[in-house]
Amino acid sequence: MADEPKEQQPPPVPTGDKPGGSPSSASVPPATPAGAAAPGAPPKPAAPAPPKPPVSLQTPLNNELVTRIRGKFGAALLEAVEDRKQAILTVERGQLAEMALYLRDEEKFNLLADLTAVDWPKREKRFDVVLNLYSFAKNERLRLKVRAADGEEVPSSVKTWPAANWLEREVFDMFGIVFSGHPDLKRILLPDEWQGYPLRKDYDILQQDTAWVRENLGIESGQ
């Protein structure tokens, strides 16, 4: 009987290879995106943020009011600025009384809302005397300032705004600023014999007028 044809066997597969397949994904590491840090590498520090531009609270003021005042008083208007929508005029100390009268009668700032002071001890003109004005007719506010050195007198505004009487006495009491022309300039909060001015920056709160307290109250001040 003739030999029957032998069944053909598939060729042997080499050990470790898989027929008809691609290399195992476990044997090939995934591609790293461009620019990415290698696994395990420390993250790059973030770039510092650019510095913010400085905030300017004061800007020059040159409105119609300033133009009229410059036209009348000239160099006596030392500075005109706007700070957070507040108009601020700094004027010569000797021109304060005349400027106040003009602002009341011509510009209709008929209310003195407040009068106070600020101490800048390192500045030659160490005190700012500040008048806060209001116009009922125009519904506007205006801050008027003068600068004074220690011992320099500031013209009183009592004749223009009678409310300045008590306010100037308080500034005199707390800062020692003398208002020339005031009808009755004396202390209003502290005793007349009190030594020192409590709102000056060089007034040590731990060394108040202990002598007055001891003499008049018979106790130690407790400071």
What is the pLDDT confidence band of residue 65, given thresholds at 50, 70 and 90?
A: very high
140-161 pLDDT tens trace: 999 999 999 999 999 999 999 9
Cβ neighbours, 10 Å, residue 77: 18
Query: What are the beta bridge partners of residue 3?
Result: none
Q: Is the pTM of this model over 0.85?
A: no
Q: Vertex 109, ends 188 and 90: CA angle to 5°? A: 75
117-135 pLDDT tens trace: 999 999 999 999 999 999 9
pLDDT at 31: 62
11-31 pLDDT tens trace: 665 555 555 555 555 556 666
Average pLDDT over residues 195-205: 88
The span from the CA of 104 to the CA of 44, in Å, is 65
DSSP for 110-152, please give it: -EEEEEEEEE-TTSSS-EEEEEEEEETTTTEEEEEEEEE-TT-
Average pLDDT over residues 100-107: 98
218/5: higher pLDDT = 218
Expressed in angstroms, the distance from the first to the final Cα of the chain is 134
Average pLDDT over residues 202-222: 71
**Domains located in the chain, CATH noted:** 58-205 (3.30.460.80)
Q: Vertex 123, ends 122 and 128: CA angle to 5°? A: 120
